[in-house]
Amino acid sequence: MNEIATDEQRQSSRPHQGRRAVISREDLMVAAMQLVGPNRSISTLSLREVAREAGIAPNSFYRHFRDVDELAVSLIEQAGGALRQVIGQARHRATSGRSVVRSSIEAFMEQLWGEQKYMQLLLREGTVGSEAFKAAVERQLVYFEEELCADLVRLASANETGIYKPALAARAITRLVFTMGASSMDLPEEKRPQAVEDMSTMVRMIVVGTQTIAEGHIQVD
Amino acid sequence: MNEIATDEQRQSSRPHQGRRAVISREDLMVAAMQLVGPNRSISTLSLREVAREAGIAPNSFYRHFRDVDELAVSLIEQAGGALRQVIGQARHRATSGRSVVRSSIEAFMEQLWGEQKYMQLLLREGTVGSEAFKAAVERQLVYFEEELCADLVRLASANETGIYKPALAARAITRLVFTMGASSMDLPEEKRPQAVEDMSTMVRMIVVGTQTIAEGHIQVD
DNA sequence: CCAATAATTATACATATGTATAGACAATAA
DNA sequence: TTATTGTCTATACATATGTATAATTATTGG
């Protein structure tokens, strides 16, 4: 009769032995995200704090993560995956020539302002915290670099322009966009279009630079 | 007779009323610096910890700083000033044409690896922490941008090349160099030359890009 | 029903933190 | 000397943390 069986979090549908989990890893991750903010970084969250926010006893935390750091790594992977997906879609939508880079940046900035807290993890906290955490962020950055590098190469051959050290160019663009994004995070609404514009110009400089160097019109000291 | 009068820290040589200060702001800043490391950021230092390191009672801290955050801001200004001075000297030494940028980067990287802990503040912690702290770091970055911008303009007119939006170019270079520097901080000794090389190439892309765009050889969408 | 088992809580402990209060100390001014 | 005045320490308190241990709860298999 109790067909209620609320489809709670049947995280794995296989029948359970023992008490059913009332909370999931995801719940803890959500709780942690609610605590981070412009002046609160993951690395400063305490286990008890997260548990409190999630509404569980401190010790229950251990059922899901070894410590807050492990939670942070999971969050990084989640945030990175989401961003890559969004940008991937943007790339798909606009395969027409050079607008790829542009629309990628726009997608990036949209995600940046739509999912502030998630993006903060990737953009602002990659340089502090544990070794594991920094490594996780670095991993995400490298993913972006690789995808962007492929884009640049494809773009160059499509437009029949040269390209000098595409991997380095991709790296420069990624890092630049990420830092600029980080510092643009707390811009007021009205200044955002300008920020997008500036970032596009900067990226264009790099793209034009790598092309021009490849053309050999300028000496490479 | 007691001509000992060890020239301790006569922080201000004016005669004192009351007990002489046994510790100075600088001592506390030094103590704090000894505590930071690749896995320890200023924002996680506790007042008691710093006091312990400096060898004073926790409460004595208040004689010098309102809280650890205020100390952090002082450290940022110190680190920024030192770096600007080093780079300024490098710029002075090599005013011959384009090597200015190059030797600035080299000076930057030297400082980066020589004063790791100080640089960590500027490079890695600018995006977390209090509003005051972030503002202090941003201020230092802007100083760099302005000086670099002047350099770029001077360079362009000396070489009779054009330059497109020098302020943006300077900003891109500064931010890029700072992030790349940050992530190169924990590179092993043998990989550093390659890092310098890569960073120079990236900067060159931006410089060439801004020049090329100015020349009008490439359409600006 | 009962036993087994897994998830969660309750309680507790040692330790850390920021800071309030009061007193000790050292220097100057009289 | 003595009074005054800054600097520093000692002690204390309320509160926070990570985690160990044991008990409680809900679920499944028999």
| Distance in angstroms (rounded) separating the CA atoms of residues B205 and A150 | 18
Residue A39 has what pLDDT? Answer: 86
Q: Give the pLDDT of residue B14.
A: 57
Q: How far apart are CA B103 and CA A38, in angstroms?
A: 36
pLDDT, average across residues B66-90: 94
Q: Which helix (H) or strand (E) holds A114?
A: helix A99-114
Query: What residues in B contact A129, CB-CB < 8 Å?
Result: 39, 41
Q: Which two tokens stand for residue A43?
A: 């690395």
CA of A113 to C1' of C9 (A): 39
How far apart, in whole angstroms, are the C-alpha atoms of residue A203 and residue A105? Answer: 9
- No. of H helices and E strands in chain A? 8, 0
Question: Under DSSP, is residue A147 helix (H, G, I), strand (E, B) or coil?
Answer: helix
Domain B72-215, CATH: 1.10.357.10
pLDDT, mean over chain B = 87
Hey, what are B143's tokens? 């100083």
Give the start-to-end residue ranges of the domains of chain B.
25-63, 72-215
pLDDT at B22: 83
- The whole-number Å distance from A104's CA to C17's C1' is 46
A25-63 maps to which CATH number? 1.10.10.60
pLDDT at site A62: 97
Q: According to the model, what pLDDT value does residue B97 have?
A: 54
Whether any strand C atom is under 7 angstroms from the Cβ of B17: the reply reads yes
Find how far residue B77's CA is from the centre of its chain.
8
Sign of CA dihedral A78, A82, A84, A85: positive
With an 8 Å Cβ cutoff, is B64 touching chain A? no
What is the mean pLDDT for each group of 10 consecutive residues in chain A (221 residues)? 33 66 92 93 96 97 96 96 93 72 88 93 91 94 94 91 97 97 92 94 96 76 47
Chain D: positions less than 7 Å from a protein CB are 4-12, 16-22, 25-29
Secondary structure element (H or E) that encloses residue A178, with its range: helix A166-184
Our CA angle for A202, A81, A49, nearest 5°, is 105
**Contacts for A126 with CB less than 8 Å, ≥ 6 apart:** A134, A137, A138, A141
For the question of an ipTM over 0.90, the answer is no
Q: At what angle do helices A166-184 and A99-114 cross, to 10 degrees?
A: 30
Question: Straight-line distance from CA A58 to C1' C4, in Å?
Answer: 26
What are residue A37's DSSP bridge partners? A40
Q: Which residues pair with A3 in a beta bridge?
A: none
Equal CATH topology for A25-63 and A75-215: no
How does pLDDT run across B13-48, given as a tens digit for each residue? 456 787 788 899 999 999 999 999 988 999 999 999
> In the CATH hierarchy, which top-level class contains the domain A75-215?
mainly alpha
